[in-house]
């Protein structure tokens, strides 16, 4: 990994944040941040927990949650709540800004580059609100599903098997 530079950078930033807010600089906090910045895509609490155990770094889930809150607060991490029991996080630096295409049929989440829809100038226009970050969720039907749906409808107009579909969460 040659993102050592980035990892040091965010460590410094976190350090500053902790200082300003008079929070303690515990080894756990830095280890967690470092783990996160060794990952590239989305991650959830469970995978983070396991990845830390894998490297023989013992942390409790409680600490993980505490630390993530701090990282969210200082903007080093972003949280996506895709469903009631599906929260995903991702680091903010070293990741390109992207939108999320969520298929309403199969629930698949695809990332797509955005053309910086929401410019800093626009962000400032919002009254009485300090923007930290934003997420764009685009809901629709992916090509796989729109094809499957056509097939299904064709079939239904002939047969009568319905079957409940619980994928749309």
Partner DNA sequence: ATGTATGCAAACCATTTGCAATGAC
Partner DNA sequence: GTCATTGCAAATGGTTTGCATACAT
Give residues 24-43 in contact with its own copies (rule: CB under 8 A).
none
The two three-digit tokens of residue 77, written as one number = 């991490």
8: number of Cβ within 10 Å: 12
Q: One symbol per residue from 87 to 116: x for binding DNA (CB under 7 A), - otherwise; what is it?
A: x-----------------------------
The C-alpha atoms of residue 132 and residue 100 are separated, in whole angstroms, by: 18
Q: Which stretch binds its own copies (CB under 8 A): 1-9, 31-39, 53-61, 126-134?
A: 126-134
Q: What is the dihedral of CA 57, 59, 61, 62, to 10 degrees?
A: -160
Q: Is 8 in the site for its own copies (CB under 8 A)?
A: no
Instruction: Check if the beta carbon of residue 133 is closer than 8 Å to that of residue 92.
Output: yes
The nearer residue to DNA, 61 or 149, going by C-beta atoms, is: 61
Please give the distance of CA 27 from its chain centroid, rounded to a whole number: 24
Q: Which stretch binds its own copies (CB under 8 A): 2-10, 27-35, 53-61, 116-124?
A: 116-124
The two three-digit tokens of residue 113, written as one number = 């580059």
Q: Is 138 in the site for its own copies (CB under 8 A)?
A: yes
SS3 122: helix
The nearer residue to its own copies, 38 or 132, going by C-beta atoms, is: 132
Q: Which helix (H) or strand (E) holds 37?
A: none
Q: One symbol per residue from 46 to 85: x for binding DNA (CB under 7 A), - otherwise; what is it?
A: x-----------xxxxxx-xxx-x--------------xx
Residue of 104, 124, 77 lying closest to 169 (CA atoms): 104
Residues of this chain that bind its own copies (CB under 8 A): 19-23, 69, 72-73, 75, 78, 81-85, 87, 101, 103-104, 110, 112, 115, 117-118, 122-123, 126, 128-143, 146, 153, 156, 160, 162, 164-166, 168-169
């Amino acid at each position: 990994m040659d993102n050592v530079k980035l990892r040091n950078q965010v460590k410094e930033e976190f350090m500053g944040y902790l200082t300003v807010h008079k929070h303690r600089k515990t080894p756990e906090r830095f280890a967690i941040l470092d783990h996160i910045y060794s990952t590239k895509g989305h991650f959830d609490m469970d995978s983070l927990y396991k990845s830390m155990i894998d490297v023989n770094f013992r942390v409790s889930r409680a600490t993980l949650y505490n630390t993530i809150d701090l990282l969210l607060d200082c903007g080093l991490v972003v949280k996506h709540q895709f469903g009631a029991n599906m929260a995903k996080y991702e680091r903010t630096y070293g990741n390109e800004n992207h939108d999320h295409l969520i298929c309403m049929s199969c629930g698949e989440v695809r990332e797509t580059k955005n053309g910086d829809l929401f410019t800093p100038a626009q962000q400032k226009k919002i009254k009485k609100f300090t923007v930290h970050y934003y997420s764009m969720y685009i809901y629709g039907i992916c090509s796989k599903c729109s094809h499957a749906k056509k097939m299904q409808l064709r079939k239904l107009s002939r047969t009568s098997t319905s079957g409940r579909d619980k994928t749309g969460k």
